[in-house]
């Protein structure tokens, strides 16, 4: 609806211009086809005046739009004057504004029956018929008006339906966040009430959304009005009934302290979730067929869309929970690391004090040395006793960090997605120039791996960070095919001569089965890359030739997919 | 000189204090260690001590932590009370400033007799004999 309104008003203005063009052409055809009792200058002057007034009043609202209509009829009357207005050629000219009534471009809402228009038509025919009333125009006027009403009714229903459905679009644009979906139901009620025609015959007073659980329990998800409690009265096997019939109507339902009797329960299933919409009416519908048409043509498609939004919100909520779950685990890890540090600080005091006392011993007054020696011996014992818990704790921490598994879930990721991910990571970076060589074909792109998209993103981000630090600023990324699909990152290393030895060792460490060696070297970025690659079971190797460092990742597709690609 | 120490694991660091006492205070210092805030219920009796050493991370069994204890002691406005902070937190001085405490000497863990000496030197404390 956000887009429809401006589009509609622009089209109406265009229609207005085209309609006047039709009026002028039609008038000209009349002037050519019939004898004209006035001189050509009258018609010429009238046409200029008609166009002039129209231009002045173009797109004007209020009483000026009435003057515009009077201008039309003044022109029609002058052109038709002295011509046989009861003939079809002339007669339609007089009725053209009536036919065009639904294109009315004034600010007031379009109405199929316009009294001021009828008055002008009758005035015009009176003038043309020497001020004598003639029924000849009344019948076609009534017929066209009724046809216009039918079109108007259809347009109203379409407009109403668009208006309701646009609530979903607006929600995505304005309010997309967890906990605001109830606004959709509120807006549905409000917009329904704004439609005077429909709300007069179908008076929707509230809408509630429930989720039907497997045990038959109804969980309230959303409501257009705040509801504390609800209860279905005397309904045996509601869950079975609604699942069988999909719709139930006029069941007695207690909402807080009032009883609803005129209502509709509609079951809508989406992605395995059973949503039940409860639509309450203030009074029973005037005609059953109106209600049936309303249900099937308007309500059901709308509620189906709302179900999709609710499901999306459910998914967002699940993601949020998962995220906070992961965050909690990480915070707990940080907490336990901090606690471990405090533990080590306490346990290390005797060791440090023992060494400090040994340092001070030679310079201590001879008279105190024997007493100090006693303390040194005591602290030596304490220090020795503490060394074992210290090393145990350190090993424990090292073990924890080695096993930090941050994969919370895995999904099926197509090779196409993998390619897009890598290209996206490098595209977003302005420091590294990269060139892609893609040998993967459609067949490979359609294969998939079971992996974790976040972890994969971490890996490629980390590769990029390493390139920024250690390369000359460019990287070739090749998507090749051997026994399995392969991704190769090749770059030129900065200051290769100075770092050759360290690089060779780094490559050697990286290619080992474990990451202990790399950890010892403190190469944090590579350690993370290797650790995550190992967690994702992605085969990896590194090689260096002259100043070209190459990282090769072998991506094995799902085992149930054909590996011989 | 009487020293009151709020520290739940004093035995682990006792030798550091004994060494410090021996080398720099001729064993004049008398240490009284309390493992929790509730083990020293009448805080007004703090005035009987020359120096109070407070471990910020007291045992979880302690009713008050080091900061709360410091707050309660500050409220008593005891004149000439010398407070020393014992802690494993590196950035504790920033935290103390945030909480509105005056600048206090800090003994960072792991400790040794020299780090204790530096904190006592802050107040210019010397043996009486």
Secondary structure letter of residue A535 according to DSSP: H
In chain B, which residues have their Cβ closer than 8 Å to the Cβ of A350?
12-13, 15-16
Query: Is the minimum CB–CB distance between B58 and chain A shorter than 8 Å?
Result: no
Q: Which pLDDT score, from 0 to 100, does residue A183 have?
A: 83
User: Is-contact B58 B69, C-beta < 8 A?
Assistant: yes
Domain boundaries, chain A: 4-160, 181-313, 331-402, 411-554
Domains and CATH numbers, chain B: 2-122 (3.40.50.2300)
pLDDT tens-digit readout, A405-450: 555 577 888 898 888 888 888 877 777 888 889 899 888 888 888 8
In chain B, which residues have their Cβ closer than 8 Å to the Cβ of A360?
23, 113-114
Instruction: Indicate yes or no: CB of A356 within 8 angstroms of CB of B22.
Output: no
All residue ranges of chain A with pLDDT < 50 are 1-3, 517-521, 563-565
Chain position carrying tokens 């008055």? A119
DSSP string covering A272-318: TEEEEEEEEESS--S-HHHHHHHIIIIIHHHHHHHHHHHHHHHHHHH
CA R_g for chain A: 41
Strand ranges across the sheet with A258-260: A230-232, A253-255, A258-260
Instruction: Write the CATH number of the domain with boundaries A181-313.
Output: 3.30.450
User: Is-contact A340 A393, C-beta < 8 A?
Assistant: yes
Residue B102's alpha-carbon distances to A186, B52, B75, in angstroms, are 57, 15, 13
Separation between Cα atoms, residue A197 and residue A274, nearest integer Å: 33
In chain B, which residues have their Cβ closer than 8 Å to the Cβ of A364?
23
Separation between Cα atoms, residue A334 and residue A154, nearest integer Å: 64
In this structure, the strands spanning A204-212 and A273-281 are antiparallel
Query: Is the minimum CB–CB distance between A341 and chain B shorter than 8 Å?
Result: yes
User: Tens-digit pLDDT profile for chain B (129 aa)?
Assistant: 999 999 988 988 999 999 999 999 999 999 999 988 889 989 999 999 999 999 987 776 778 888 889 989 988 988 888 999 998 877 788 888 888 888 899 999 999 999 999 999 999 998 887
Q: Which pLDDT score, from 0 to 100, does residue B102 have?
A: 83
Q: Which pLDDT score, from 0 to 100, does residue B114 have?
A: 95
In this structure, the strands spanning A230-232 and A247-249 are unpaired
Nearest to A293 by CA among A203, A202, A224: A202
Q: Which residue of B has its CA nearest to A365?
A: B23
DSSP string covering A249-280: ES--EEETTEEE-SEEEEEEEETTEEEEEEEE
Tell me whether the omega of the peptide bond preceding residue B14 falls within 30 degrees of 0, making it cis: no
CATH architecture for residues A411-554: 2-Layer Sandwich (3.30)
Q: Which pLDDT score, from 0 to 100, does residue A560 have?
A: 60
Q: Which residue of B has its CA nearest to A353?
A: B112
Q: Which pLDDT score, from 0 to 100, does residue B52 have?
A: 95
Q: Which pLDDT score, from 0 to 100, does residue A517 have?
A: 47
Q: Exposed, middle or buried: residue A342 (CB in 10 Å: 0-12, 13-18, 19+)? A: middle
**Element at A389 (helix H, strand E):** helix A366-402
Separation between Cα atoms, residue A375 and residue A358, nearest integer Å: 10
pTM score: 0.56
Instruction: Indicate yes or no: CB of A353 within 8 angstroms of CB of B111.
Output: yes
pLDDT tens-digit readout, B102-114: 889 999 999 999 9
Provide the Cα torsion A232, A234, A238, A240; round to 10°: 170
In chain B, which residues have their Cβ closer than 8 Å to the Cβ of A352?
110-112
Nearest to A413 by CA among A426, A400, A422: A422
Separation between Cα atoms, residue A371 and residue A367, nearest integer Å: 8
CB within 8 Å of A561: residues ≥ 6 apart: A447, A448
Interface ipTM: 0.91
Q: Which pLDDT score, from 0 to 100, does residue A547 have?
A: 85
Q: Which residue of B has its CA nearest to A377?
A: B15
Q: Which pLDDT score, from 0 to 100, does residue A366 have?
A: 93
Q: Between A351, A356, A382, which is nearest B113 by CB?
A: A356
Q: Which pLDDT score, from 0 to 100, does residue A407 have?
A: 58
């Amino acid at each position: 609806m956000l887009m429809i309104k401006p589009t509609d008003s622009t089209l109406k203005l265009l229609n207005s211009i085209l309609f006047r063009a039709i009026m002028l052409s039609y008038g000209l055809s009349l002037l050519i086809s019939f004898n004209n009792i006035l001189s050509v200058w009258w018609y010429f002057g009238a046409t200029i005046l008609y166009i002039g007034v129209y231009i002045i009043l173009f797109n004007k609202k209020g009483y000026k739009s009435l003057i515009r209509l009077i201008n039309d009829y003044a022109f029609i009357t002058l052109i038709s004057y002295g011509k046989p207005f009861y003939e079809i050629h002339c007669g339609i000219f007089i009725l053209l504004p009536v036919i065009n009534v639904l294109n009315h471009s004034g600010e007031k809402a379009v109405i199929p029956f316009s009294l001021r228009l009828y008055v002008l038509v009758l005035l015009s025919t009176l003038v043309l018929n020497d001020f004598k009333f003639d029924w000849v125009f009344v019948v076609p006027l009534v017929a066209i008006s009724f046809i216009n009403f039918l079109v108007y009714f259809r347009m109203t229903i379409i407009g109403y339906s668009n208006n309701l459905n646009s609530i979903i679009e607006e929600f995505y644009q304005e309010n997309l966040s967890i906990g605001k979906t109830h606004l959709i139901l509120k807006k549905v009620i409000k917009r329904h009430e704004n439609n005077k025609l429909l709300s007069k015959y179908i008076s929707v007073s509230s809408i509630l959304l429930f989720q039907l659980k497997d045990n038959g329990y109804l969980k309230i998800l959303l409501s257009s009005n705040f509801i504390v409690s609800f209860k279905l009265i005397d309904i045996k096997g509601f869950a079975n009934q609604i699942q069988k019939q999909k719709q139930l109507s006029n069941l007695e339902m207690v909402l807080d302290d009032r009883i609803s009797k005129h209502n509709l329960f509609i079951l809508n299933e989406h992605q395995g979730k059973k949503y039940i919409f409860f639509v309450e009416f203030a009074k029973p519908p005037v005609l059953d067929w109106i209600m049936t048409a309303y249900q099937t043509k308007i309500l059901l498609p709308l509620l189906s869309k709302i179900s999709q939004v609710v499901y999306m919100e459910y998914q967002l909520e699940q993601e949020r929970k998962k995220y906070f779950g992961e965050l909690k685990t990480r915070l707990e890890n940080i907490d336990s690391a901090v606690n471990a540090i405090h533990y080590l600080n306490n346990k290390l005091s005797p060791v440090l004090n023992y060494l400090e006392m040994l340092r001070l011993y030679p310079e201590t007054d001879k008279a105190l040395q024997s007493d100090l020696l006693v303390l040194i011996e005591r602290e030596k014992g304490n220090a020795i006793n503490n060394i074992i818990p210290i090393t145990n704790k350190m090993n424990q921490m090292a073990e924890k960090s080695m096993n930090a598994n941050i994969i919370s879930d895995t999904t099926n990721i197509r090779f196409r997605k993998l390619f897009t991910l890598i290209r996206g990571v490098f595209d977003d970076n302005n420091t590294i120039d990269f060139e892609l060589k893609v040998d993967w074909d459609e067949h490979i792109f359609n294969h998939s791996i079971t992996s974790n998209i976040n972890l994969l993103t971490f890996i490629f981000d980390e590769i990029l960070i390493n390139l920024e630090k250690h390369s000359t600023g460019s990287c070739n990324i090749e998507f090749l095919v051997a026994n399995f699909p392969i991704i190769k990152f090749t770059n030129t290393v900065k200051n290769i001569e100075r770092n050759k030895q360290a690089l060779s060792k780094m490559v050697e460490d990286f290619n080992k089965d474990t990451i202990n060696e790399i950890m010892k070297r403190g190469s944090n970025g590579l350690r993370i890359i290797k650790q995550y690659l190992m967690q994702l079971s992605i085969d990896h190797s590194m090689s260096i030739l002259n100043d070209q460092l190459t990282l090769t990742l072998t991506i094995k597709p799902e085992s149930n997919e054909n590996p011989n690609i | 000189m009487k020293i009151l120490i709020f520290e739940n694991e004093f035995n682990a660091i006792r030798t550091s204090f004994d060494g410090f006492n021996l080398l720099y205070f001729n064993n004049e210092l008398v240490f009284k260690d309390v493992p929790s805030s509730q083990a020293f219920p009448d805080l007004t009796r703090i005035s009987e001590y020359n120096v109070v050493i407070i471990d910020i991370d007291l045992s979880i069994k302690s009713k008050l932590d080091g900061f709360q204890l410091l707050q309660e002691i500050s409220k008593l406005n005891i004149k000439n009370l010398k407070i020393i902070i014992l802690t494993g937190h590196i950035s504790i001085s920033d935290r103390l400033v945030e909480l509105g405490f005056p600048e206090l000497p800090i003994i960072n863990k792991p400790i040794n007799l020299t780090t204790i000496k530096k904190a006592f030197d802050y107040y210019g404390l010397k043996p009486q004999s």
